[in-house]
Structure 1
Amino acid sequence: MKSLIASHLKSEMNPIALLRSNVRPKEALQPKAGKYCCVMSLMAQVIAHGATAVFDRETYGCPGAVAGLGMGTAYTTAMGGADTFEAFFSKGQESARDPEKYQAIIDQAPAHLRRKLTIGERFHCSPEKARSWFSNELPIYDFEEQYRIVKPLSEVEEHEQPDSVVFVVNPLQLSGLITLTGSIYPGLLNIMAPQGASCQMIGAYVFQQAEQDVPRPVLGFTDLAARKHTRKTIPEDYLTYAVPWNLFLELEREAQDGIFVSPIWLDLQ
């Protein structure tokens, strides 16, 4: 699939698409079943090198990706459940409801997770706020298809309809996309930049926006944990700008004679 927006942006990073399917693509990157990893490390290979990645309910990498990719939620079942995650996402050991139980979770965790579990990721100021986020605010979907596929937008076929189209952009390219979106939307709140994991910013939050009367793009890759896993592949000044399929088509139409053919944009090139 050719994208007029992508041709105007001229990004060094591939725009990508997230799709659901019951057919596994051949020669795709996929985590090993039961092995912990950040799915963004595989998605970074799609973004930077044009690979294809696939995930399912046995190969989802980490609990955050279960929600991020629309396969339900693991925050109530994995690694001790909600009590663990509310402490993990806030202040770690010092914020645990049951310090002894939480310490047992730390002791059983893989070595690379123990320090983060002990100190906490500190993405939320309190365990109560953390629990409210993953229980009430993060949109949860459980689509029936077996696989979630991430591949370059250029490889999307005519019969396919992605759930999410993701542009990976530097500040100038992001400015162009925000201007393009603002040119067709009323009001000032043209985009959203939610708290969460980077995979959720191109998945779950985009699924939610697809259901809105006025869907908004989701600004992402602001997840510091994902940054740590992708910094050797994706430059630190890049962010994601993810849109539902129908909004992508609307933006593509405006890109024909909108901001990208203006003297201001052309001069900046």
Structure 2
Amino acid sequence: MDSKLIDALKLQMQPVAIIHTDEKLEKGLHFKEGNMFGCVAAMLVAASKKNSLAYFDRKTYGCPGGGVGLGFGDCYGRFPIDSLLSTGDKQMAAQMGSAGAIMEEGERFYKNPEQARKWVDSLPMTDVSTKFVLFKPWEMLTDEDKPELIVFFTNADQLSALVVMADYNKGTNQSVMAPFGAACQSILYAYEEAKQENPKGIIGFFDISKRTIVPRETLTFTVPFKMFMEMESHVETSFLETHMWKEIQERQ
């Protein structure tokens, strides 16, 4: 598919479309059933860099946070996410063997388990209606595809442009948000925005535990597909066609 917006941004990594489908792929990156340590965010990065499809279902989403991010409902269940995100649990870590090292001290993203629980309770849990969630790199999209979301991997210049474009025809100064979550959970927040009359773009990849899998200057910007198309339609009348942006393009 052609895109004036993507062309103007001069991205180093491909945008990735999030697609819901009931058709299982014969080829593509995926986790084996029962793999609780698979990282959805790493798959998202791989799809962008390697120009490869990736797909998931309710038995192959990797870690519980990944299942939540993909929209397979509340996958945390009895998993001690409150302790993991905060001060840890040495007793639980001992039961987990070699996989328990990070649980022993906790990730310290929240002061205590109670604060972490508030965060969990605030998540806009979603249960998608299809069997599979597919990651498809932009260059592989066809006119027949019907993406739910588009995920951009951006540097500061590109992110600035997307933030401005998100509010270009609204004038609200309320067209983006930057919630904390697992690196893949911007997808979850964007699902919620897709339900809104005036959706917002989601700035993400703030998860400290996964920052090393993307270049240092990289963040994501995730938008519902209808919002992407709206931004796409305004490129020719926007700053992206001015000398200001052309000067910035030259330093990409």
Q: TM-score range by the shorter chain?
A: over 0.9
Matching residue of 1:194:
179
Matching residue of 1:58:
59
Which amino acid counterpart does residue 247 of structure 1 have in structure 2? Answer: M
Looking at structure 1, the residues matched to 137 and 96 of structure 2 have their Cα atoms a distance apart, in angstroms, of 34
Shift of 1:55: 0.8
Looking at structure 1, the residues matched to 61 and 41 of structure 2 have their Cα atoms a distance apart, in angstroms, of 11
Shift of 1:110: 5.0
Matching residue of 1:91:
87
Residue 42 (structure 1) aligned with residue 43 (structure 2): yes
Residue 247 (structure 1) aligned with residue 234 (structure 2): no
* Structure 2 SS opposite 1:158: coil
After superposition, residues 108-257 of structure 1 pair within 5 angstroms as 108-109=95-96, 111=98, 113-135=99-121, 137-201=122-186, 203-228=187-212, 230=213, 234-257=214-237
Shift of 1:242: 0.4
Looking at structure 2, the residues matched to 119 and 44 of structure 1 have their Cα atoms a distance apart, in angstroms, of 27
Which amino acid counterpart does residue 198 of structure 2 have in structure 1? Answer: V
* Structure 1 SS opposite 2:171: coil
Shift of 1:218: 0.2
CA offsets, 1:182-228, max 9 Å, x none?
A: 32222222210101111111x11000011122110000111112224
Looking at structure 2, the residues matched to 149 and 110 of structure 1 have their Cα atoms a distance apart, in angstroms, of 33
CA contact (8 A) 1:65 1:199 kept: yes
Q: Structure 2 vs 1, CA of residues 14 and 217 (structure 1 numbering), >3 Å: closer, same or farther?
A: same
CA RMSD of aligned residues (A): 1.5
Matching residue of 2:69:
68
Matching residue of 1:33:
33
Which amino acid counterpart does residue 119 of structure 1 have in structure 2? Answer: E
Residue 264 (structure 1) aligned with residue 249 (structure 2): no
CA offsets, 1:155-193, max 9 Å, x none?
A: 222222211101111111111111212322222222101
Q: Structure 2 vs 1, CA of residues 110 and 264 (structure 1 numbering), >3 Å: closer, same or farther?
A: farther
CA contact (8 A) 1:20 1:148 kept: yes
Looking at structure 2, the residues matched to 108 and 126 of structure 1 have their Cα atoms a distance apart, in angstroms, of 21
Aligned-pair identity in percent equals: 31
Looking at structure 2, the residues matched to 128 and 46 of structure 1 have their Cα atoms a distance apart, in angstroms, of 36
CA offsets, 1:51-94, max 9 Å, x none?
A: 111111111110001110011112223x3xxxx2211111113x
Q: Structure 2 vs 1, CA of residues 160 and 110 (structure 1 numbering), >3 Å: closer, same or farther?
A: farther
Q: Please, which moves more after superposition, 59-68 or 124-133? A: 124-133
TM-score w.r.t. length of structure 1: 0.88
Shift of 1:126: 2.1
Aligned length: 248
Looking at structure 2, the residues matched to 154 and 3 of structure 1 have their Cα atoms a distance apart, in angstroms, of 10
CA contact (8 A) 1:5 1:252 kept: yes
